Amino acid sequence: MNIIIAGVGGQGNVLASRLIASTSIMKGMEAKTSETIGMAQRGGCVASHIRIGGQYHSPIVPEGGADLLIGFEIAETARNITKLKKGGKAVMNMGSIRPAGGLINLNAYDEQEACQFIQAYCPDIVSIDAFAIAKGIGNPKVVNIAMIGAAVAAAFLPFTQEEFEIVLKKHLPEKILNINLQAFRKGMSEVLRYGGALCMS
């Protein structure tokens, strides 16, 4: 399985990819990870690659080869949507962050147009407002874990809630474990309760 996590620096792409890989390894599957990072580490474009299975030699997912795209914001989802294979799945956060490179562009991108492009490429995309979830539990840094929760609830990842929570408890310090468990479960509940909302709705 090939997965790409797309976001901007500071959103926790690397942690999310490591947790997904660790859960897969716990289940006895091989997993490789890699990142492609823009000019600015914080605020720049970041794409994390995860390849699950022993048949892969390179850690980088080829263009048009991703089974799943997890987009932490709209623009980076649009930027990476063409990396999905035909019939691939996507989970997107319904919110945007202007990346550092965009600060020199006075014309902000059109979110509605970006959503139309995304939906045309991947009609079955599942979207949640992970920014609202993170704000609601008091920590904007847990958007990444909420998004993994959405992907697990949509059955887009090869493991269960229980299996991922085992890895969270193993890898996260106790002082931040509870809030990350909350984010994960709320991300799941948004999909299970509402089935996900298209960003255009």
pLDDT digits (tens, 9 = 90+) for 115-163: 999 999 998 899 999 999 999 999 999 999 999 999 999 999 999 999 9
The pLDDT score that the predictor gives to residue 96 is: 78
The pLDDT score that the predictor gives to residue 41 is: 53
The Cα–Cα gap between 59 and 118 comes to: 25
pLDDT, mean of residues 183-197: 85
Buried b (16+ CB within 10 A) or exposed e, 17-29: bbbbbbbbeeeee
Q: Confidence class of residue 109 from pLDDT cuts 50, 70 and 90?
A: low
Q: Confidence class of residue 106 from pLDDT cuts 50, 70 and 90?
A: very low
Q: Confidence class of residue 104 from pLDDT cuts 50, 70 and 90?
A: very low
| Edge-first strand listing for the sheet containing 31-37 | 31-37, 45-52, 2-8, 66-71, 84-93, 126-128
* Strands, E assignment, 53-170: 66-71, 84-93, 126-128
Asked if pLDDT for residue 181 goes beyond 60, the answer is yes
The Cα–Cα gap between 85 and 55 comes to: 17
pLDDT digits (tens, 9 = 90+) for 69-101: 999 999 999 999 999 999 999 999 998 776 554
Topology of 2-194 in CATH?
A: Pyruvate-ferredoxin Oxidoreductase; domain 3 (3.40.920)
Domains of the chain, by residue range, sit at 2-194
